[in-house]
Amino acid sequence: MNVEQLAETAQSIVADGKGLLAADESTGTIKKRFDQINVESTERTRRDYRHILFTTPDVSQFISGVILYDETIRQDGPDGSPLVETIEKAGMIPGIKVDNGAKPLAPGGGEKVTEGLDGLRERFKAYYELGARFAKWRGVYSIGGGLPSRQCIRANAHALARYAALAQEANITPVVEPEVLMDGSHDIDACREATEAVLREVFAELAEQQIVLEGILLKPNMVLSGKDCPRQADANEVARETIRCFKRVVPAAVPGVVFLSGGQSDEQATVNLDAMNKIKDAEGAPWALSFSYGRALQQAALKAWSGNDDNAESARKAFYERAKATSAAALGRYAA
């Protein structure tokens, strides 16, 4: 394990207001996105769309790395160059999603545990050779009706920690993603309590697995009201509750927190991140607070493209502007 390399990758990802583009949608998920713009999801259309994003001029000012799906990390672009090389030449770091998705947690009850540990050591070796220098694994937790359960919290934390250990062994910086879902009518207090319980267990398991905290990044949810809650917390409350929650459980040794957008709109995800960075120093937050957004970075570009490569420049412009705005939010300088 090269601790210096792991830490350097983590620091590079969250440097100077930069963050991650999550372009790791599964085939099923990206099909749903393409269905919204009436575009058939094929290996070629998926590649062409993602290639447009990766070749946006100067976007590396704002995007430090790209999370890829297994299909994408093996693909060549329309010009015949591997997409990984295209990303590297653009000044960004290639990464890879390695989990196999959330499956029902036995013996039932509606919760999920993420699978994919079998054979992961060998897959990490292959991904490193393909150019991946960081990875991502997601665990999901629901709120409501006594959830998340202790069983779900412990099972997902253990999987996240085992994944992180295998990643660091392979000199791949792990992005650890425990996501407390915003689905439901719960208030922000319930989200804070669940998020704190989840993160507390995650870092306990990371310690058990001897994870070098300087060589990881945390990709969590923000502390939000449930999307069906009658009272929606504003950005200032989200910022305050998120930072105070994290200060209780996230060690200062972690270089950065790259938030997921988690169902928020483009604007909401940007405004909330900006609010956090505006109060970060006053609240004593020791980590870089940045982003690892998928839909919140891509939605405008996807609509501009609409499956027509003649619209590539319009799509790149839309992606560039959204990346620029999100980067500004990561510095606390966003002006809506």
Strand, helix or coil at 102?
Answer: strand
Whole-Å CA distances, 22 to 87, 136, 327? 13, 10, 14
Residues designated catalytic: 177, 219
Q: In which residue are the tokens 């591997």 written?
A: 82
Long-range contact set of residues 328-332: C-beta below 8 Å, sequence gap at least 24: 328/17, 328/274, 329/270, 329/271, 329/273, 329/274, 329/277, 329/291, 330/17, 330/18, 330/19, 330/273, 330/277, 330/288, 330/289, 330/290, 330/291, 331/17, 331/277, 332/274, 332/276, 332/277, 332/278, 332/280
Kindly give the residue spans of alpha helices, DSSP state H, lying in the chain. Answer: 3-13, 27-36, 43-54, 70-73, 83-89, 120-130, 150-169, 188-208, 235-249, 266-283, 295-305, 312-330
Give phi and psi for 187, each to the nearest 5.
-90, 180
Q: How far apart are CA 161 and CA 165, in angstroms?
A: 6
DSSP strand pairing (102-104 vs 112-114):
antiparallel
18 token code pair: 């930069």
Asked if residues 140 and 100 have their Cβ atoms less than 8 Å apart, the reply is no
Asked if residues 212 and 3 have their Cβ atoms less than 8 Å apart, the reply is yes
DSSP strand pairing (288-293 vs 217-218):
unpaired
Of 39, 65, 4, the C-alpha closest to 219 is 65
